[in-house]
Structure 1
Amino acid sequence: MTLTFLNHQIKAFWRSKNTGKSIAMRIFMAILIIYLLLNVLVVAFFMDTILEKTFPNQDSIQTFNSFIIYYFLLDLLWRFQLQELPTLAVRPYLHLRLKKNQIINYLSITSLGSTFNITPLLLSMPFLIKVLIPTHGFLVFGAYVLSILGLTLTNHFFSMWIKRKVNLNAIWMLVFLGTLLLFVLLDFQFKLFSISALSAQIFGQLLSIPSISLIFLVLAVLIFLMNFRYLKSNLYLEELSKASVSHKSSTEIPYLGRFGLSGDLAANELKLILRNKRPRSVIMTSILFMFYGLIFYNRPDLSDYPILFCGMFMTGIFIINYGQFMFSWQSAHFDGILVSKVSIREFFKAKFLLFTLFSSITFLLTTPYVYFGWRVLLIHFVMLIWNLGVNTVLVLFFANQNYKRIDLSKGSAFNWEGVGASQWILSLPLLITPFIVYFPFSYMDYPDAGIAFIGITGLLFIISREFWLNLLIKQFQNKRFTIAEGFRNK
């Protein structure tokens, strides 16, 4: 029956009136994914060298062991934010005389085709082949592969379960993110235990007792059964309609379409960017700035300050470049937005979604900078959290003060159209605030605490996004007519 479901999905794809656009988008996404996986493969191939240079007095296998749990915690967080749920494709079958187990098996099997499931094995296999097999043999190598596979599947099915719970009750998101934050605080801030030491101890046992790897496979099976039972007890048309309203995306971009109306708005704005000269130049500029770290990271006396600046700049370049003219990009049809049925809340949520999408991609593009040390990658990730939490709110706050119109057809070179006082004021808090937060800790010789505090601040802003969203909407309601009047002045 699974093959029948797949056959129906393939026919539905080819018979769609927008098949050409879907193919073009899939080709683009495939190229991007292949590029990112090649970056992962390069890092994996040189991982032994990277670990030896970063931790010169430690055994590379033990160092690798100490980072496994950290990786899968980050993997779980990324899955929670980016991994899709294959639910809507089976709606037409729920009223037919089909066993629920067949539908759930289809959902489970099709969900496995995710880049997140390929990355852990791709990242670890070259290292394990080069380092582990010559010293410990194929049996231990197989145990490591089974362990990583088990943890990958555990994260995969757990992320699907928790996202479905969040769709029904948002309190689960606070519980999930709060638990991850608690582990981080207990490890880095309060030093009550070390995740790194725990990871090294658990996976170090594989060297002498390879059969321990079966525990991770059993854990994956248990999480799969938990997800299976949850789907089986909630797989009704009524339950799915409560979780999300069936919404046909006019954009035909599968990933953004799953976010409903805000996804449609974000996809439409993405089309606006790609079809017009000036916003398209923002994308090109953002790509060029991905090489910004090469200017600073080659210095032997590298400190945290340039890494913080580069990390914030590279992971937030789209937020800074595109966000400083926010709302002006839509000045030509802003009056239409005000009188349309689109709620202002969905309008703002689309902005947050667009920022999250581009910043996540730019962070992934900067992962090769791990060549200069794992601390560089850690700070890049912390600054990504800061950008998504704090800088997105700052950008949209100043967008409510921007009344300058922009002609999208003009290039950006020597073009000062749309540039006003808000752009100059905006640049100060965006660029200075993280250093203000970090400086007291650095001055007291606690740089790690400063970096952790930046990340915690960004995470708190993300968790409390609804609060900031309400404030931004209230401010926009007071300013919307002034903004519209300014956009009418050509």
Structure 2
Amino acid sequence: MNFIVESFSAETDLSFLPLIIFAGGLLALNYFDIISFNEIVGHGFNAIYETPVLISIPMLILIGLYLFNFKLLRQKLFLDSGLKTKIKAINTSNLDWTKFFGDMAPFMQLDLKLIWRNKRTKSTLWILALGLFYGLVFYPDPDYQSMPWFYAFVGIFVTGIFLMNFGQFIPAWDSGYYKLLMSQNIKYEQYLKSKFTLMALSVIVLFVLSIPYVYFGWKILLAHFAAAIYNIGVNTHVIMYGGSFNRKKINLDQKAAFNYQGTGAVQWLIGIPLMVLPAGVFGVFYALFSYEIGCLSLAVIGVFGIIFHQKLMKIITVKYLESKYKMIDAFNQDN
């Protein structure tokens, strides 16, 4: 079944949406007791246990899936499909507004075009939309209304969803032409600052878009505001520093769904300082003092990160320069 889903999902950019809608629909039917899938599955197992001959039903389903999957694979088993080249029109966008960022403008334009024109990077925009509504999973639930310490965690995720998805693969997004980029007469610090600026702007935009969550209480808005400041001041620098350890190439033309290309130990470990650390800081101050002090602690740490931005960027730039040739060599490999 996984191979069949993978085969059909490769044909569209939004392949994961039907899967999410389908799974979410089943979950909703079960949650609201419209259809109890727990009982259905339970009765199914009991029936097979009591009448062993019924095991033939899942076996027939397995054989059917195998034959269908075999047919799909056989249809694609010819060389010409791998030699075809796609011909598509390139849409141009007006990115003149990026000129306000001075020397960083060319790099920002490059990133924005890269995000919009490629399958893998375009997925970050759709995940951004899903992440923005992440709070609706928790805030309407009365059980979470009595757990305000959880608001900071959700706030970090909602305002930093683009930062996390895009930032964790810096500079691997540019791996296809990284060698050419590094051969140009450019300042590495400007290249990195353009990434930082793009992520910081995304945090601000997501915070503004998340303001309607105040409908569920002012404490949620306060947590999102503190989380946004923390994301800009701390998490942007953390994820930029983590990017200096990226050694895996990314093929931008490949689909995003079920694609773990470019994912390494860095992408798994970076989640600890990004999510667990701020939640821990907020939890400690919330437990010792109050909710407001917990939010203030996150905001203050974020402000310090913003104040020392220039020094932090110099440290990060030095780290990238030290790893420059290792990354060039790694991105030249087909991994």
CA distance in 2, matches of 1:310, 1:488: 38
**What does the per-residue CA deviation read over 1:296-339, in whole Å, with 9 as the maximum and x for residues that have no partner?**
10123422232111111010000111111111100011111211
CA distance in 2, matches of 1:271, 1:280: 10
Alignment-derived partner of residue 133 in structure 2? 291
Q: What amino acid is the match of 1:322?
A: F
| Secondary structure of the corresponding residue to residue 460 of structure 1 | helix
Cα offset for 1:446?
A: 2.3
Query: After the TM superposition, which residues 422-461 of structure 1 pair with which residues of structure 2 at under 5 Å, given as runs?
Result: 422-461=266-305
CA distance in 1, matches of 2:297, 2:209: 25
Q: What's the C-alpha RMSD, in Å, of the aligned pairs?
A: 1.5
Alignment-derived partner of residue 480 in structure 1? 324
| Secondary structure of the corresponding residue to residue 176 of structure 2 | helix
Q: What amino acid is the match of 1:461?
A: G
CA distance in 2, matches of 1:375, 1:447: 8
Cα offset for 1:378?
A: 1.5
**What does the per-residue CA deviation read over 1:246-289, in whole Å, with 9 as the maximum and x for residues that have no partner?**
xxxxx852331111121221121011000000000111111112
Alignment-derived partner of residue 318 in structure 1? 162
Q: What amino acid is the match of 1:277?
A: K
Alignment-derived partner of residue 268 in structure 1? 110
Alignment-derived partner of residue 101 in structure 2? 259
Instruction: Decide which of 207, 215, 221 is 1:363's aligned counterpart.
Output: 207
What TM-score, normalized to structure 1? 0.48
Alignment-derived partner of residue 4 in structure 2? none
Determine if contact 2:244/2:320 at 8 Å carries over to the other structure: yes
Q: What amino acid is the match of 2:131?
A: F
- Does residue 383 of structure 1 match 2:199? no
| Secondary structure of the corresponding residue to residue 405 of structure 1 | coil
Query: After the TM superposition, which residues 154-303 of structure 1 pair with which residues of structure 2 at under 5 Å, given as runs?
Result: 252-301=94-143, 302=145, 303=147
**What does the per-residue CA deviation read over 1:422-477, in whole Å, with 9 as the maximum and x for residues that have no partner?**
10111111110112211221221422112101101001101110010000011111
| Secondary structure of the corresponding residue to residue 235 of structure 2 | helix
What is the percentage of aligned positions where both structures have the same residue? 33
Q: What amino acid is the match of 1:355?
A: M
Instruction: Decide which of 412, 415, 420 is 2:259's aligned counterpart.
Output: 415
Query: After the TM superposition, which residues 119-158 of structure 1 pair with which residues of structure 2 at under 5 Å, given as runs?
Result: none
CA distance in 1, matches of 2:239, 2:103: 22
CA distance in 1, matches of 2:326, 2:116: 28
| Contiguous gaps of at least 5 residues in structure 2 | 1-92
CA distance in 2, matches of 1:438, 1:379: 10
Q: What amino acid is the match of 1:329?
A: W
| Secondary structure of the corresponding residue to residue 415 of structure 1 | coil
| Secondary structure of the corresponding residue to residue 273 of structure 1 | helix
Query: After the TM superposition, which residues 64-143 of structure 1 pair with which residues of structure 2 at under 5 Å, given as runs?
Result: none
Alignment-derived partner of residue 246 in structure 2? 402
Instruction: Decide which of 442, 447, 463 is 2:307's aligned counterpart.
Output: 463
Alignment-derived partner of residue 181 in structure 2? 337
Alignment-derived partner of residue 192 in structure 2? 348
CA distance in 2, matches of 1:343, 1:445: 46
| Contiguous gaps of at least 5 residues in structure 1 | 1-250
Higher helix share: 1
Aligned residues: 241
Determine if contact 1:263/1:353 at 8 Å carries over to the other structure: no
What TM-score, normalized to structure 2? 0.69
CA distance in 2, matches of 1:484, 1:432: 32
| Secondary structure of the corresponding residue to residue 283 of structure 1 | helix
CA distance in 1, matches of 2:279, 2:229: 15
